[in-house]
């Protein structure tokens, strides 16, 4: 997320006004980031996707492009929307795959994996679609904390990046993340290992 925030805010305003050159520049800036986010999902242990990260990023970009009428506030707002779009693409894909398999072959994740894609896996595994259902409940309880989970899990952002997107502090994001992991563990009836970022 090294692109200047003022530049992205300016590009968003121009894009909303129909400037095709601004849209082209946004693609140059955003597409690699979306592909990185998609690739982070594809690397998760036990997750075998028939969609390549490029296909996920393409679909996410097409859906993001449909949001041209949104009153974009700044880069943070944009990256938050990107995380939501990637979440929807990913969950739609998993729902479709689950339906095709008639309930078999559920895609699993564990809470240790949520904390870091390279973290060793634990036996405390649950379904991605169960996580989605729990996240919907968390959104009703505390939208800000749910957004932290969305940015961490579906966008693959670290605490510092999340703090930047949400215009918050790393300490606040850390507290929200610890609460979210504990809440999810209870909701999904699994135990949770310590996250290295919780220190």
Using 50, 70 and 90 to split pLDDT, how confident is the model at 48? low
- pLDDT tens for each residue of 52-99: 778 888 888 888 877 766 776 777 777 888 888 888 888 888 777 766
* Pairwise CA distance, residues 14 & 9, whole Å: 9
pTM for the predicted model, two decimal places:
0.66
Q: Per-residue pLDDT averaged across 189-197, rounded?
A: 54
Alpha-helical (H) ranges within 71-169 are 75-100, 111-115, 128-141, 143-153, 159-166
Residue 50 has pLDDT above 90, yes or no: no
Coil/strand/helix, residue 153: helix
* Pairwise CA distance, residues 149 & 10, whole Å: 28
**Worst-scoring range by mean pLDDT, 80-94, 104-118, 178-192?**
104-118
User: Who's near 140: CB < 8 A, 6+ residues apart?
Assistant: none
What is the number of structural domains in the chain? 1
To the nearest 10°, report the CA torsion of 129, 121, 144, 35.
-80
**Domain ranges, residue 139:** 5-198
* Pairwise CA distance, residues 120 & 116, whole Å: 9
Assigned token pair, 58: 């393409």
Q: How many CA atoms lie within 13 A of 168 on its CB side?
A: 20
Per-residue confidence (pLDDT) for residue 121, from 0 to 100:
35
């Amino acid at each position: 997320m090294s692109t200047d925030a003022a530049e992205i805010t300016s590009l968003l305003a121009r894009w909303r006004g129909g400037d095709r050159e601004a849209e082209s520049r946004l693609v140059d800036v955003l597409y690699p980031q979306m592909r990185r986010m998609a690739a982070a999902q594809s690397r998760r242990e036990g997750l075998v996707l028939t969609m390549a990260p490029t296909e996920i990023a393409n679909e996410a970009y097409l859906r993001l492009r449909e949001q041209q009428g949104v009153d974009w506030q700044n880069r943070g707002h944009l990256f938050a929307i990107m995380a939501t779009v990637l979440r929807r693409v990913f969950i739609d894909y998993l729902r479709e795959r689950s339906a095709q398999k008639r309930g078999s072959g559920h895609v699993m994740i564990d809470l240790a994996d949520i904390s870091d894609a390279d973290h060793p896996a634990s036996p405390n595994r649950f379904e991605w679609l169960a996580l989605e259902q729990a996240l919907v409940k968390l959104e009703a309880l505390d939208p800000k904390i749910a957004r932290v989970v969305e940015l961490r899990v579906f966008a693959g952002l670290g605490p510092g990046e999340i703090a930047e997107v949400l215009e918050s502090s790393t300490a606040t994001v850390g507290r929200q993340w610890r609460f979210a992991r504990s809440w999810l563990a209870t909701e999904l009836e699994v135990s949770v290992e310590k996250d290295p970022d919780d220190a």
